Amino acid sequence: MIVEASSTIDRIVSFLSGHNIRVAHPAKVRLIAESMNKTDRNDAHILLDLYKREYMPESYLPPREISESRNICRNRNFLVRQRTAIKNRIRNQSYRLGMDFDGFTKKSLSTLRDASPMLRILVEDLENVNKYMKLTFT
């Protein structure tokens, strides 16, 4: 079975488990991207023709364990970037209000929470991200 690579490839593979699945490499299958009459039907015919001629470039399809590990890393990376963005906004907002910023200790976060409504929201966001990361990745 030949499928085009997409963001939902994990779901497709799990749905079609037990079948011999080959994933077409999207960057190397330029015929599809450059075709004038691009439809799913035409794409399927082109992939089949390439496969029959043993010319279809394939993408690597990692085993389920590796795919899950990569997904965990991606999610953690996303949360770390979110946490950094929130911390930067807290620093910026406290600077704008003329407050001395002491770092992200419990005492300083409590002080910041009481300083303004915006800082209260940002501190709560930071605490929620930290709590979620602790629950998910420890």
- The answer to the question of residue 92 being in a domain is yes
Whether residues 33 and 79 share a domain: the answer is no
* Measured CA distances, 47 to 26, 28, 56, 85 (Å): 11, 12, 7, 43
Mean pLDDT, the chain, integer = 87
- The answer to the question of residue 57 being in a domain is no
Read off the DSSP letter of residue 2: E
Identify the pLDDT of residue 104: 92
Cα distance between residue 133 and residue 92, in whole Å: 23
Whether residues 71 and 36 share a domain: the answer is no
Whether residues 81 and 37 share a domain: the answer is no
Contact in structure between 47 and 29 (CB atoms under 8 Å):
yes
Whether residues 80 and 36 share a domain: the answer is no
Whether residues 110 and 132 share a domain: the answer is yes
Range of the domain at 11: 2-52
| Number of compact structural domains in the chain | 2
Per the listing, tokens 């082109």 go with 46
pLDDT above 90 covers a percentage of the chain that reads 43
Cα distance between residue 84 and residue 89, in whole Å: 9
Cα distance between residue 106 and residue 43, in whole Å: 57
- The answer to the question of residue 58 being in a domain is no
Whether residues 45 and 70 share a domain: the answer is no
Read off the DSSP letter of residue 58: B
Whether residues 90 and 133 share a domain: the answer is yes
Q: pLDDT digits over 7-40, tens only? A: 888 888 888 888 888 888 877 777 666 766 777 7
